[in-house]
Amino acid sequence: MMKHIEGIGVALFLMGAFSFGVTLLSKETTLLATTPSVPIVASVKNIVSGPVQIENDEAVSQQVALVITAATVAQKNTSAPLFRSSCLKGSGDPDASMMAISPTVGINVSYVPDDLVSIPKSYTKDSSFCLTQATKDAVVTLIDAAHTEGFSIKVSSAFRSYGTQSYLYRMHFDILKLTRKTVALAGHSEHQLGTAVDLSGASIGYKSAAASFGTTPEYAWLIAHASEYGFVQSYPKGTESITGYATEPWHFRYVGKEIAQAIAQEGVTLYEYLNKMTGEAVSI
Protein backbone atom coordinates (compact mmCIF):
# COMPACT_ATOMS: atom_id res chain seq x y z
CA MET A 1 0.00 0.00 0.00
CA MET A 2 2.85 2.39 0.73
CA LYS A 3 4.29 1.88 -2.71
CA HIS A 4 0.89 2.64 -4.09
CA ILE A 5 0.60 5.93 -2.19
CA GLU A 6 4.13 6.96 -3.11
CA GLY A 7 3.25 6.38 -6.75
CA ILE A 8 0.32 8.70 -6.38
CA GLY A 9 2.56 11.33 -4.86
CA VAL A 10 4.93 11.19 -7.81
CA ALA A 11 2.06 11.44 -10.21
CA LEU A 12 0.56 14.39 -8.38
CA PHE A 13 3.95 16.12 -8.48
CA LEU A 14 4.29 15.60 -12.21
CA MET A 15 0.78 16.21 -13.29
CA GLY A 16 0.67 19.97 -12.96
CA ALA A 17 2.14 20.79 -16.35
CA PHE A 18 -0.30 18.71 -18.32
CA SER A 19 -3.86 19.18 -19.41
CA PHE A 20 -6.66 16.76 -18.70
CA GLY A 21 -7.64 13.85 -20.94
CA VAL A 22 -9.09 10.53 -19.94
CA THR A 23 -11.03 8.20 -22.17
CA LEU A 24 -12.82 5.06 -21.18
CA LEU A 25 -11.84 2.08 -23.26
CA SER A 26 -13.77 -0.62 -21.52
CA LYS A 27 -16.81 -0.16 -19.39
CA GLU A 28 -15.60 -2.40 -16.64
CA THR A 29 -11.92 -3.00 -16.45
CA THR A 30 -9.55 -1.03 -18.58
CA LEU A 31 -8.72 2.62 -18.76
CA LEU A 32 -7.21 4.18 -21.84
CA ALA A 33 -5.94 7.66 -21.33
CA THR A 34 -4.36 9.61 -24.16
CA THR A 35 -1.75 12.33 -24.09
CA PRO A 36 1.54 13.19 -25.73
CA SER A 37 3.13 13.32 -22.29
CA VAL A 38 5.62 10.63 -21.40
CA PRO A 39 6.94 11.25 -17.85
CA ILE A 40 3.54 10.99 -16.29
CA VAL A 41 3.04 7.60 -17.89
CA ALA A 42 5.69 6.00 -15.76
CA SER A 43 4.18 7.52 -12.65
CA VAL A 44 0.73 6.30 -13.38
CA LYS A 45 2.06 2.89 -14.25
CA ASN A 46 3.37 2.73 -10.71
CA ILE A 47 -0.16 3.14 -9.55
CA VAL A 48 -1.99 0.82 -11.88
CA SER A 49 0.39 -2.08 -12.30
CA GLY A 50 2.20 -4.44 -9.99
CA PRO A 51 0.76 -5.83 -6.78
CA VAL A 52 -1.73 -3.03 -6.27
CA GLN A 53 -4.68 -3.81 -4.08
CA ILE A 54 -7.42 -1.28 -3.60
CA GLU A 55 -9.27 -2.89 -0.76
CA ASN A 56 -11.98 -1.15 1.16
CA ASP A 57 -10.05 2.07 1.21
CA GLU A 58 -12.10 4.99 0.08
CA ALA A 59 -9.29 7.46 0.69
CA VAL A 60 -6.92 5.65 -1.63
CA SER A 61 -9.63 5.23 -4.25
CA GLN A 62 -10.27 8.95 -4.13
CA GLN A 63 -6.59 9.71 -4.57
CA VAL A 64 -6.33 7.40 -7.54
CA ALA A 65 -9.39 9.01 -9.07
CA LEU A 66 -7.89 12.44 -8.46
CA VAL A 67 -4.64 11.49 -10.13
CA ILE A 68 -6.24 9.97 -13.17
CA THR A 69 -8.67 12.83 -13.52
CA ALA A 70 -6.21 15.64 -12.99
CA ALA A 71 -3.16 14.32 -14.75
CA THR A 72 -2.91 14.09 -18.47
CA VAL A 73 -2.04 10.49 -18.44
CA ALA A 74 -0.68 7.65 -20.41
CA GLN A 75 0.32 6.33 -23.74
CA LYS A 76 -1.64 6.86 -26.87
CA ASN A 77 -3.30 3.70 -28.09
CA THR A 78 -2.06 1.70 -25.14
CA SER A 79 -4.36 0.28 -22.56
CA ALA A 80 -3.30 0.13 -18.95
CA PRO A 81 -5.02 -2.54 -16.90
CA LEU A 82 -6.05 -0.85 -13.71
CA PHE A 83 -6.43 -3.61 -11.27
CA ARG A 84 -3.60 -6.07 -11.45
CA SER A 85 -3.48 -7.67 -8.05
CA SER A 86 -2.72 -10.87 -6.27
CA CYS A 87 -5.77 -12.60 -4.88
CA LEU A 88 -7.10 -11.13 -1.65
CA LYS A 89 -7.58 -13.31 1.41
CA GLY A 90 -11.10 -14.16 2.48
CA SER A 91 -12.82 -11.78 4.88
CA GLY A 92 -14.46 -14.50 6.93
CA ASP A 93 -17.94 -13.13 6.22
CA PRO A 94 -20.75 -15.67 5.68
CA ASP A 95 -20.80 -17.08 2.16
CA ALA A 96 -22.79 -14.83 -0.18
CA SER A 97 -22.36 -16.79 -3.39
CA MET A 98 -26.10 -17.40 -3.80
CA MET A 99 -27.13 -13.86 -2.94
CA ALA A 100 -29.55 -12.08 -5.27
CA ILE A 101 -27.90 -8.71 -5.81
CA SER A 102 -29.78 -5.68 -7.04
CA PRO A 103 -29.29 -1.90 -7.13
CA THR A 104 -30.94 -1.80 -3.70
CA VAL A 105 -29.74 -5.03 -2.09
CA GLY A 106 -25.96 -5.26 -1.77
CA ILE A 107 -23.01 -7.11 -0.28
CA ASN A 108 -21.04 -6.25 2.86
CA VAL A 109 -18.29 -3.70 2.34
CA SER A 110 -15.76 -6.15 3.77
CA TYR A 111 -16.90 -9.23 1.87
CA VAL A 112 -14.17 -11.17 0.11
CA PRO A 113 -14.84 -14.85 -0.67
CA ASP A 114 -12.72 -17.35 1.24
CA ASP A 115 -11.08 -19.25 -1.59
CA LEU A 116 -9.98 -16.84 -4.30
CA VAL A 117 -7.44 -18.31 -6.70
CA SER A 118 -5.78 -16.98 -9.83
CA ILE A 119 -7.05 -17.81 -13.28
CA PRO A 120 -4.28 -19.22 -15.50
CA LYS A 121 -3.03 -16.39 -17.73
CA SER A 122 -3.79 -18.26 -20.95
CA TYR A 123 -7.48 -18.06 -20.08
CA THR A 124 -7.50 -14.29 -19.53
CA LYS A 125 -7.37 -11.34 -21.85
CA ASP A 126 -4.42 -9.37 -20.53
CA SER A 127 -4.30 -9.33 -16.79
CA SER A 128 -4.33 -11.25 -13.54
CA PHE A 129 -7.74 -12.18 -12.28
CA CYS A 130 -9.07 -14.13 -9.32
CA LEU A 131 -12.19 -16.23 -8.83
CA THR A 132 -13.42 -18.69 -6.24
CA GLN A 133 -11.87 -22.11 -6.71
CA ALA A 134 -15.09 -23.66 -8.06
CA THR A 135 -15.70 -20.77 -10.44
CA LYS A 136 -12.14 -20.88 -11.72
CA ASP A 137 -12.34 -24.62 -12.35
CA ALA A 138 -15.69 -24.23 -14.12
CA VAL A 139 -14.63 -21.37 -16.37
CA VAL A 140 -11.46 -23.20 -17.38
CA THR A 141 -13.58 -26.23 -18.30
CA LEU A 142 -16.02 -24.02 -20.20
CA ILE A 143 -13.29 -22.25 -22.16
CA ASP A 144 -11.61 -25.57 -22.98
CA ALA A 145 -14.92 -26.97 -24.21
CA ALA A 146 -15.56 -23.93 -26.38
CA HIS A 147 -12.05 -24.23 -27.79
CA THR A 148 -12.57 -27.82 -28.85
CA GLU A 149 -15.62 -26.66 -30.79
CA GLY A 150 -13.69 -23.87 -32.50
CA PHE A 151 -14.58 -20.89 -30.31
CA SER A 152 -11.92 -18.88 -28.52
CA ILE A 153 -13.19 -17.25 -25.34
CA LYS A 154 -11.22 -15.42 -22.63
CA VAL A 155 -11.95 -13.83 -19.26
CA SER A 156 -11.75 -10.04 -19.34
CA SER A 157 -12.77 -9.38 -15.73
CA ALA A 158 -13.44 -11.44 -12.62
CA PHE A 159 -13.33 -10.71 -8.86
CA ARG A 160 -13.42 -7.07 -7.90
CA SER A 161 -13.25 -5.88 -4.31
CA TYR A 162 -15.63 -3.30 -2.87
CA GLY A 163 -12.87 -0.70 -3.11
CA THR A 164 -12.14 -1.48 -6.74
CA GLN A 165 -15.82 -1.34 -7.62
CA SER A 166 -16.12 1.93 -5.74
CA TYR A 167 -13.32 3.34 -7.85
CA LEU A 168 -14.90 2.08 -11.08
CA TYR A 169 -18.23 3.58 -10.09
CA ARG A 170 -16.60 6.91 -9.42
CA MET A 171 -14.89 6.85 -12.79
CA HIS A 172 -18.06 5.96 -14.64
CA PHE A 173 -20.66 7.94 -12.84
CA ASP A 174 -19.04 10.84 -11.01
CA ILE A 175 -16.18 11.66 -13.35
CA LEU A 176 -17.21 10.44 -16.76
CA LYS A 177 -20.91 11.13 -16.07
CA LEU A 178 -22.06 7.81 -17.47
CA THR A 179 -25.39 6.47 -16.36
CA ARG A 180 -25.72 4.46 -13.22
CA LYS A 181 -26.87 1.27 -14.89
CA THR A 182 -23.64 0.82 -16.85
CA VAL A 183 -21.69 0.04 -13.72
CA ALA A 184 -22.84 -1.23 -10.37
CA LEU A 185 -22.49 0.82 -7.22
CA ALA A 186 -19.91 -0.67 -4.86
CA GLY A 187 -21.49 -3.48 -2.90
CA HIS A 188 -23.95 -4.09 -5.72
CA SER A 189 -21.70 -5.89 -8.19
CA GLU A 190 -21.72 -9.65 -8.63
CA HIS A 191 -17.99 -9.34 -9.27
CA GLN A 192 -17.44 -8.91 -5.51
CA LEU A 193 -18.73 -12.47 -5.04
CA GLY A 194 -15.78 -13.94 -6.94
CA THR A 195 -18.25 -16.00 -8.97
CA ALA A 196 -18.88 -13.58 -11.86
CA VAL A 197 -16.83 -13.32 -15.03
CA ASP A 198 -16.84 -11.03 -18.01
CA LEU A 199 -16.12 -13.00 -21.15
CA SER A 200 -15.08 -12.00 -24.63
CA GLY A 201 -14.14 -13.72 -27.85
CA ALA A 202 -11.57 -13.78 -30.62
CA SER A 203 -14.08 -12.51 -33.17
CA ILE A 204 -14.06 -9.06 -31.51
CA GLY A 205 -10.40 -9.18 -30.46
CA TYR A 206 -11.34 -10.08 -26.87
CA LYS A 207 -12.66 -6.56 -26.36
CA SER A 208 -13.89 -6.10 -22.79
CA ALA A 209 -17.48 -5.43 -21.85
CA ALA A 210 -18.51 -4.83 -25.44
CA ALA A 211 -22.14 -4.77 -26.48
CA SER A 212 -21.00 -6.25 -29.80
CA PHE A 213 -20.09 -9.46 -27.98
CA GLY A 214 -23.82 -10.21 -28.04
CA THR A 215 -23.69 -10.72 -31.81
CA THR A 216 -20.66 -13.01 -31.91
CA PRO A 217 -20.52 -16.77 -32.50
CA GLU A 218 -18.76 -17.11 -29.14
CA TYR A 219 -21.76 -15.54 -27.43
CA ALA A 220 -24.14 -17.81 -29.31
CA TRP A 221 -22.10 -20.78 -28.10
CA LEU A 222 -22.24 -19.52 -24.53
CA ILE A 223 -26.00 -19.06 -24.64
CA ALA A 224 -26.35 -22.63 -25.88
CA HIS A 225 -23.84 -24.23 -23.51
CA ALA A 226 -22.93 -22.04 -20.51
CA SER A 227 -25.50 -23.68 -18.25
CA GLU A 228 -23.87 -27.09 -18.86
CA TYR A 229 -20.85 -25.69 -17.03
CA GLY A 230 -22.84 -23.95 -14.30
CA PHE A 231 -22.90 -20.41 -15.70
CA VAL A 232 -25.84 -18.07 -16.23
CA GLN A 233 -25.97 -14.74 -18.04
CA SER A 234 -27.02 -12.41 -15.24
CA TYR A 235 -28.42 -9.56 -17.33
CA PRO A 236 -30.00 -10.86 -20.55
CA LYS A 237 -31.56 -8.59 -23.13
CA GLY A 238 -35.03 -7.39 -22.18
CA THR A 239 -34.70 -8.00 -18.44
CA GLU A 240 -33.58 -4.57 -17.33
CA SER A 241 -36.84 -3.84 -15.54
CA ILE A 242 -36.45 -7.08 -13.56
CA THR A 243 -32.73 -7.05 -12.73
CA GLY A 244 -32.25 -3.29 -12.49
CA TYR A 245 -29.12 -3.50 -14.65
CA ALA A 246 -28.53 -2.82 -18.32
CA THR A 247 -28.08 -5.75 -20.68
CA GLU A 248 -24.60 -7.24 -20.40
CA PRO A 249 -23.98 -10.03 -22.92
CA TRP A 250 -20.46 -10.48 -21.55
CA HIS A 251 -21.33 -10.99 -17.88
CA PHE A 252 -21.89 -14.52 -16.56
CA ARG A 253 -22.17 -15.82 -13.01
CA TYR A 254 -21.32 -19.29 -11.74
CA VAL A 255 -24.11 -20.90 -9.75
CA GLY A 256 -23.43 -24.60 -10.40
CA LYS A 257 -24.87 -26.86 -13.08
CA GLU A 258 -28.11 -27.72 -11.29
CA ILE A 259 -29.26 -24.14 -10.77
CA ALA A 260 -27.93 -22.92 -14.11
CA GLN A 261 -29.83 -25.60 -15.99
CA ALA A 262 -32.99 -25.02 -13.96
CA ILE A 263 -32.84 -21.33 -14.83
CA ALA A 264 -32.33 -22.15 -18.51
CA GLN A 265 -35.33 -24.50 -18.46
CA GLU A 266 -37.61 -22.13 -16.56
CA GLY A 267 -36.68 -19.12 -18.67
CA VAL A 268 -36.41 -16.83 -15.66
CA THR A 269 -33.63 -14.47 -14.69
CA LEU A 270 -30.98 -15.46 -12.18
CA TYR A 271 -32.20 -12.63 -9.98
CA GLU A 272 -35.75 -13.99 -9.89
CA TYR A 273 -34.57 -17.56 -9.35
CA LEU A 274 -32.27 -16.72 -6.45
CA ASN A 275 -34.92 -14.56 -4.82
CA LYS A 276 -37.42 -17.40 -5.07
CA MET A 277 -34.84 -19.84 -3.73
CA THR A 278 -33.99 -17.71 -0.73
CA GLY A 279 -37.57 -16.55 -0.14
CA GLU A 280 -36.82 -12.87 -0.47
CA ALA A 281 -38.85 -10.18 -2.19
CA VAL A 282 -38.28 -9.84 -5.92
CA SER A 283 -39.01 -6.11 -6.08
CA ILE A 284 -36.01 -3.86 -6.53
Distances (CA, A) of 251 to 181, 204, 226, 275: 14, 16, 11, 19
Contact 123, 155 (CB under 8 A): yes
Q: Which of residues 174-203 bind Zn ion (CB under 5 A)?
A: 198
In the complex, least distance from residue 251 CB atom to Zn ion, rounded to whole angstroms: 4
Q: How far is the CB of 208 from Zn ion (least distance, A)?
A: 9
One-letter amino acid identity for 237? K
Residue 55 or 198 with smaller CB distance to Zn ion:
198
Which of 4, 27, 136, 251 is the binder for Zn ion (CB under 5 A)?
Answer: 251
Interaction between residue 218 and Zn ion (CB under 5 A): no
- 248 belongs to the catalytic site: yes
C-beta of 213: minimal distance to Zn ion in Å?
11
Site residue total, Zn ion (CB under 5 A): 2
Q: Which helix (H) or strand (E) holds 43?
A: helix 39-48
Q: Which phi and psi angles does 136 have, rounded to 5°?
A: -60, -50
Is 156 a binder of Zn ion (CB under 5 A)? no
Q: Which is nearer to Zn ion, 136 or 251 (CB)?
A: 251
User: Are 251 and 198 within 8 A, CB to CB?
Assistant: yes
Q: What is the dihedral of CA 136, 227, 206, 174, to 10 degrees?
A: -80
Q: Least separation, in Å, of the C-beta of 169 and Zn ion? A: 13
Among candidate residues 55, 190, 218, 248, the one labeled active-site is 248
Residue 83 binding Zn ion, by CB under 5 A: no
